[in-house]
A and B are shown apart, each in its own frame.
Chain A
Amino acid sequence: MPTPVLSIRQAVIGFEKDKPLLVDVNLDIHPGEIIGIIGRSGIGKSTLLRTIAGLLSPLSGDIDVPSARGEIGYIPQRLGLINHHNVGYNVMMGALARAPFWQTLFSLPGIELRESARSAIEAVGLSDKVLDSISQLSGGQQQRVAIARSMVQQPTLLLADECLGELDSETAKEIIELIQKLAKENNIAIIIVDHNPVRVATFCDRVLQVKGTHIEEVNV
């Protein structure tokens, strides 16, 4: 078994020490693995993801994540796209973490980064939408942009929070295929939070359910 990309030991997750959302969280994730996290709304799934992303600190315990810049990709619940900007700009933002300092200073991405952005846009089927503003796109197209941004970033760990939430079944299926491709071809470990256990079971290698303040692996 290769070294895990993410290793969580005895972590307590939440905002207040006397009211933790999740306790005794233990988790190992390996490259290329897709993990689904399910559970009812407000139980702490997103907080767990934000803690793994380094946006919040665990109340206690250890979270061992890739520490190099750009190694963690995060697709928030509302995708985190820049709505007033176009598809090209948003996808290029994934390259920021990989770009040399002088390129980021003058907004001049190198040929290699531009090429990877172009091929990511092609891979998600949005080549004809490069100059379209995000606000002009449908929900499914916006999801594709968020995935293309992660493709360009090339993280070792991708965290996706409810990114299939409001999509119709056909579009959700297309996005799932993209996620699977991303995990297998680039050997990326992916954690995806979803509220639909049946859907998650169809494409995830393992499914974890949050019950009360504990998280446990389930067979759906």
Chain B
Amino acid sequence: MKIIQHLKKRPSLIVYTGIIILAIMISNKLGITIDNLGQAWGNAGILWSEMFPPDFSVVTERASWSQTKCTWDADWACSAAIHGLAETIEIAFLATLFGMLLSLPLSMMAAHNLSPIWLSTITRQFLAGLRVLPSLVWALIFVIMFGPGPLAGVLAMTLYTVGYLGKLQYEALEGVSRHPLEAARAMGLPRWQVARYFALPEASNAILSQILFMFEYNIRHGSVIGLVGAGGIGWYLNNYLGVFSRYDRALALIIVIYVAVVIIDQISLSIRHRFMDSETHAPRARWREIIPFFTKREV
């Protein structure tokens, strides 16, 4: 009786207790038991002993078994880590570039304030469809279609970038003030001109920041898609973990990926801060200067 009275006073306890009971029931159903965890600890111990110390020869030795040809003379430049990382960055760059080129017009079509409702609804559904599958699954599909290699990686990440970046961009475009758009509409300008010359420049700081974020995201995911054969450093990692069973080298690669991602994160963050620091004093993004005719000396 005391317990019931106590629970009546603090109803949140019932919720917490319910969640804990539910978690225990689900764990039992999925076979996540203390016995299994104990066994996993044993395997983790074996893996740990084989991983340490990490073998950093992956940074210095030439990897003659790479997917793409390495033409550099220096061995380190053609090592699994450096060659793989360069390939991952190249895949991410191409995927971000192609993704941006495709997503920009799509995001304008998807924005409610720029397109008729039927067009924005269809475009949104299309973008959502691209986001349904993660880039890893797209990579698997393209590896089956085009064979293993960076092409599959670029295509997979381009599709995912279009879906993801398209959503971020149409949200940024919808956040634009209605006043410039109304001034443009009153002029009688067609929709594409309103979007291109009024909405896009107004949202450009946010869009530029999103593109940089996407590039950074693609580099991180570029490491993963290699696991299914779609090129990049992930492919080397997959081979060290699987075919070669060289866990010490795999750990060295993981450390290289970690350091690279941290550096790229910091660079991307500092560049993005330049555009997002403040509403009023954000520096102008130079690529928006579409009128090269105006210079101080001309006027």
**Chain A residues near B (Cβ < 8 Å):** 50, 53-55, 68-86, 88-89, 92-94, 96-97, 104, 107, 109, 114, 118, 121-122, 127, 130-131, 133, 135, 149, 153, 155, 159
- What separation, in Å, do the CA atoms of A35 and B249 have in the docked complex? 80
- The reply to whether the CB of B10 lies closer than 8 angstroms to some CB of chain A is no
Most buried by A among B182, B188, B198: B188
Q: How far is the CA of A93 from the CA of B201 in the complex (A)?
A: 12
Q: Which residues from B are CB-within-8-Å of A50?
A: 182
Since A72-B187, A82-B180, A93-B184 are in contact, a sample of 12 more A-B pairs with Cβ atoms closer than 8 Å, ordered by chain A residue number, is A55-B185, A72-B188, A73-B187, A74-B187, A75-B183, A76-B179, A80-B179, A81-B180, A83-B280, A84-B201, A84-B288, A131-B294
Whether A131 lies near B179 (C-beta < 8 A) is no
A84-B186 contact, Cβ under 8 Å, with A78-B177, A130-B296, A130-B299? no
Query: Judging by beta carbons under 8 Å apart, are B189 and A74 in contact?
Result: no
B197 at interface by CB-CB < 8 Å: yes
CB-based contact B201/A55 at 8 Å? no
**Contact (Cβ within 8 A) B291 A92:** yes
Contact (Cβ within 8 A) A104 B193: yes
Interface size on B, residues (CB 8 A): 35
Could you tell me the distance in whole angstroms from the C-beta of A65 to the nearest C-beta in chain B? 10
User: Is the Cβ of B186 less than 8 Å from the Cβ of A72?
Assistant: yes
Is the CB–CB distance between B188 and A80 below 8 Å? no
Cβ–Cβ contact B182 & A74, under 8 A: yes
Closest 6 CB pairs of A and B: A80-B183, A74-B186, A88-B294, A69-B188, A53-B186, A80-B179
**Does B6 sit at the interface, judged by CB under 8 A?**
no
In the complex, which residues of chain B have a beta carbon less than 8 angstroms from the beta carbon of A73?
Answer: 186-187
Q: Is the interface of B mostly helix, strand, loop or mixed?
A: loop
Question: B290 to chain A: which residues have CB within 8 Å?
Answer: 89, 107
> Nearest Cβ distance between residue B244 and chain A, in whole angstroms?
52
Binding site for A on B (CB under 8 A): 177, 179-189, 193, 197-198, 201-202, 204-205, 279-282, 284-285, 288-291, 293-296, 298-299
Q: How far is the CA of A88 from the CA of B193 in the complex (A)?
A: 17
Which residues of B have CB within 8 Å of A53? 182, 185-186
Residues of B within 8 A of A155 (CB): 187
Contacts of B296 in A (CB 8 A): 130-131
Contact across chains for B182 and A70 when beta carbons are under 8 A apart: no
Contact flag A76-B188 (CB < 8 Å), given A93-B197, A127-B299: no
A sample of 20 inter-chain contacts (CB < 8 A) reads A68-B188, A72-B186, A72-B187, A74-B187, A76-B182, A80-B177, A80-B180, A83-B202, A84-B202, A84-B282, A84-B285, A85-B284, A88-B294, A89-B294, A97-B188, A97-B189, A109-B291, A114-B293, A118-B299, A127-B299
Q: Which residues of B contact A81 (CB under 8 A)?
A: 180
Chain B residues near A130 (CB, 8 Å)? 294, 296, 299
Q: Is B193's CB under 8 angstroms from A82's CB? A: no
Within the complex, what minimum Cβ distance (angstroms) separates B191 from chain A? Answer: 13
Output the least CB separation between A89 and chain B (Å): 6
Hey, which chain A residues are within 8 Å of B183, CB to CB? 74-76, 79-80, 149
Q: Which chain B positions have C-beta within 8 A of A55?
A: 182, 185-186
Chain A contacts of B181 at CB under 8 A?
A: 80
Chain B residues with CB under 8 Å of A54's CB are 185-186, 188
B177's closest neighbor in chain A, by CB? A78
Q: In the complex, what distance in Å separates the CA atom of A139 from the CA atom of B298?
A: 26
Contact A70 B294 (CB under 8 A): no
Q: Are A135 and B280 touching (Cβ within 8 A)?
A: yes
Residue of B188, B289, B293, B299 near A109 (CB, 8 A) is B293
Closest Cβ of chain A to B194, distance in Å, is 9
**Is B197 within 8 A of A96, CB to CB?**
yes
Report whether B284 and A133 are in contact in the complex, using a CB–CB cutoff of 8 Å.
yes
Q: Are B202 and A80 in contact (CB under 8 A)?
A: no
Q: Quick check: B188 and A70 within 8 Å, CB to CB?
A: yes
Q: Which residues of B contact A121 (CB under 8 A)?
A: 299
Chain A residues, CB < 8 A from B205: 84
Distance in angstroms between the alpha carbons of A131 and B292 in the assembled complex: 11
Complex CA distance for A77 and B22, rounded to whole angstroms: 56
Bound-complex Cα distance A73 to B184 (A): 9
